[in-house]
Amino acid sequence: MAEKVLTMEVVTPERHVLTTDTNGIVVPAHEGYLGVLYNHAPLVTILDTGILRYSLDGKVERMAVCGGFMEVDENKIIILADTAELAEEIDVARAMDSKRRAEDRLRQMGEKVDEARAQASLQRAIARIKASGKE
Amino acid sequence: MAQNTREIRRRIRSVQSTQKITSAMEMVAAAKLRRAQERVVTARPYTAKLHEVLERLFRSDTDFEHPFIEVSEEGKVGYVVISGDSGLAGGYNVNILRFAQRHVDSHDENAAIIALGRKGRDYFRYRGYPLLQEYINIGDLPTYIQAVALAEELTKLYHEGTLREVNLVYNKFITPLRQDPVKIQLLPIAASVDRREGEEEEVEYIFEPSPAGVLDELLPKYVNIEIYQALLEAKASEHGARMTAMGSATDNAEEIIDKLNLSYNRARQTAITTEISEIVGGAEALQGS
């Protein structure tokens, strides 16, 4: 098991988030969650908003990612996300707040509400809350 | 003599107040530089990775089709020149503007200038170059939103066929003491990324959802990021240049003050000596009588 490791790098425009070894990851790809294991074929995919799970030696870590894309080649994973936060960095209270706000906005549809934007921010908030593991 | 010492004292005071201003500007620039530098350095890995990914993609044996890649013959060669809004930054503005002008001149009438920053706008306007677009008041910390807005404008010009090429001209931040003027080709993309032919074997990528879908997402992002990076680099360079320029201005002021102090003391000394010798002379004259 130990030798079957991939390296994963997560970078956003604002910062370099994380470089780590992993045995496998699950990412929110464009068409649903997608798993990447050792010796995965070269792949480029667009990412959605959601939770990225990566495991190392049986331990599963989570982080919230939003937008961007991922490249996999020769057991190297590069994730270029618009935003990415590790589980322990997430401000749950803030995420809860923005979730409530997004829901409110969606409820009062009809008035000049940008539905796509409200949906997107709702998705982001949900991903953050879930990734933090404190639901 | 009294006239002379007063004159020198006045000059010392004037230089001192100038020095206060330059040293304050130096400190302000230093603080801004630190923030700007942080942003540049944190944004670099993302840009580098994006380059890496794109390069490998273009090297793979997939056929790509996207308006951003296609080379067109129509339209002008656009130069986006990023300069500062204010002066007092040493050679910062002059260097980049001369550099840009050389590039623009090499295309004769076929170049179009998009000026960012007041200094660049004034420079080209004064020399009679037509400006396609101008943006001033970029602010000290450019935001990603600004970059995206600019990217939209530029890609629009590119799509319309007004421009067949978009180049970014800016000062790349090396150290606070050093900025290098650079020109990078933003659009069309293939030419700029594909320049280095790799010997590595071609990789066949799987694209989710499709090559076109991925490119639709990736290329605009590349344009945004490239502009964002350029804005950040330019701003960090500007603050660096201003800090250095104001630092040496402060030092020069110090030197002038020292020199003036010396001549002030000398003039004062001479005045005292003359006065004493006058008194002595007068006393002796009295004694003699």
- B217 and A69 within 8 Å at the Cβ level: the answer is yes
The enclosing H or E element of B257 equals: helix B211-288
Q: How far is CA B279 from CA A122, B183, B269, B286, in A?
A: 93, 74, 15, 11
Q: Considering only CA atoms, which of B238, B76, B226, B202 is closest in space to residue B144?
A: B226
The answer, for B28 touching chain A at a CB cutoff of 8 Å, is no
Residue B3: predicted pLDDT: 61
User: Which chain B residues have a beta carbon less than 8 Å from that of A39?
Assistant: none
Paired tokens of B58: 């273009």
- A44 and B206 within 8 Å at the Cβ level: the answer is yes
Contact by Cβ (8 Å): B116, B151? no
CATH number for the domain spanning A27: value is 2.60.15.10
- A73 and B225 within 8 Å at the Cβ level: the answer is no
Contact by Cβ (8 Å): B80, B116? yes
Does A101 lie in the same domain as A74?
no
Q: Considering only CA atoms, which of B21, B23, B235, B38 is closest in space to residue B137?
A: B235
Does A95 lie in the same domain as A83?
no
Does A77 lie in the same domain as A26?
yes
Helices (H) and strands (E) in chain B, counts: 6, 6
Place of tokens 């936060």: A85
Q: Is the C-alpha dihedral spanning B43, B207, A6, A135 positive or negative?
A: positive
**Amino acid, res. B183:** K
CATH number for the domain spanning A110: value is 1.20.5.440
pLDDT tens digits, one per residue of B233-273: 999 999 999 999 999 999 999 999 999 999 999 999 999 99
Q: DSSP 3-state assignment of A18?
A: strand
Does A100 lie in the same domain as A64?
no
By Cβ distance, the residue of A9, A15, A69 closest to B214 is: A69
- Domain assignment present for residue A46? The answer is yes
By Cβ distance, the residue of A34, A73, A80 closest to B49 is: A80
DSSP one-letter code for B202: P
Enter the pTM of the model.
Answer: 0.80
User: Which chain A residues have a beta carbon less than 8 Å from that of B60?
Assistant: 42
Structurally, how many domains does chain A consist of? 2
Residue B191: predicted pLDDT: 46
Contact by Cβ (8 Å): B40, B173? yes
User: Which chain B residues have a beta carbon less than 8 Å from that of A33?
Assistant: none
Interface of A with B (CB under 8 A): 9, 11-16, 29-31, 34, 41-46, 68-69, 71, 73, 78, 80
pLDDT tens digits, one per residue of A38-55: 888 888 888 888 889 898
User: Which chain A residues have a beta carbon less than 8 Å from that of B49?
Assistant: 9, 11, 78, 80
The enclosing H or E element of B167 equals: strand B163-175
- Domain assignment present for residue A111? The answer is yes
Residue A135 has pLDDT above 60, yes or no: no
Question: In terms of pLDDT, which residue wins out, A106 or B146?
Answer: B146
Q: How far is B220 from chain A (nearest CA, A)?
A: 11
Gap between the Cα atoms of A50 and A65, Å rounded: 6
User: Which chain B residues have a beta carbon less than 8 Å from that of A46?
Assistant: 208-209, 213-214, 217
Residue B142: predicted pLDDT: 84
Which domain range does residue A23 map to?
Answer: 6-87
Does A43 lie in the same domain as A19?
yes
Residue A113: predicted pLDDT: 63
Does A57 lie in the same domain as A20?
yes
Does A82 lie in the same domain as A50?
yes
- Domain assignment present for residue A95? The answer is yes
- Domain assignment present for residue A39? The answer is yes
- B43 and A16 within 8 Å at the Cβ level: the answer is no
Does A124 lie in the same domain as A59?
no
Does A107 lie in the same domain as A66?
no
pLDDT tens digits, one per residue of B192-225: 444 445 445 566 778 877 777 888 888 888 898 8
Contact by Cβ (8 Å): B60, B52? no
* Regions of chain B short of the pLDDT cut 70: 1-3, 60-63, 190-203, 289
Gap between the Cα atoms of B285 and B226, Å rounded: 87
Size of interface A-B (CB pairs under 8 A): 69
Residue B192: predicted pLDDT: 46
Other beta carbons less than 10 A from residue A60's beta carbon: 13
Q: How far is B233 from chain A (nearest CA, A)?
A: 14
β-bridge partners, B174: none
* Per-window interface: B 209-228 vs A, CB < 8 A: 209, 213-214, 217-218, 221, 225, 228
Contact by Cβ (8 Å): B263, B70? no
Does A18 lie in the same domain as A50?
yes
Sheet holding B206-208, edge to edge: A16-22, A6-11, A76-80, A69-73, A43-46, B206-208
Helices (H) and strands (E) in chain A, counts: 2, 10
Residue A50: predicted pLDDT: 87
- A31 and B56 within 8 Å at the Cβ level: the answer is no
Does A83 lie in the same domain as A17?
yes
- Domain assignment present for residue A26? The answer is yes
Non-local CB neighbours of B44 within 8 Å, separated by 6+ positions: B229
Contact by Cβ (8 Å): B85, B115? no
Contact by Cβ (8 Å): B159, B169? no
Percentage of chain B surpassing pLDDT 90? Answer: 41
- Domain assignment present for residue A125? The answer is yes
User: Which chain B residues have a beta carbon less than 8 Å from that of A45?
Assistant: 207-209, 214
Paired tokens of B22: 């330059």
Non-local CB neighbours of B41 within 8 Å, separated by 6+ positions: none
β-bridge partners, B113: B79, B131
Which residue of chain A comes nearest to B215, CA vs CA?
A46
Q: Where are the alpha helices (DSSP H) in B84-210?
A: 92-105, 118-126, 144-160, 189-193
Residue A123: predicted pLDDT: 80
Contact by Cβ (8 Å): B217, A45? no
Residue A99 has pLDDT above 80, yes or no: yes
Does A96 lie in the same domain as A74?
no
- Domain assignment present for residue A1? The answer is no
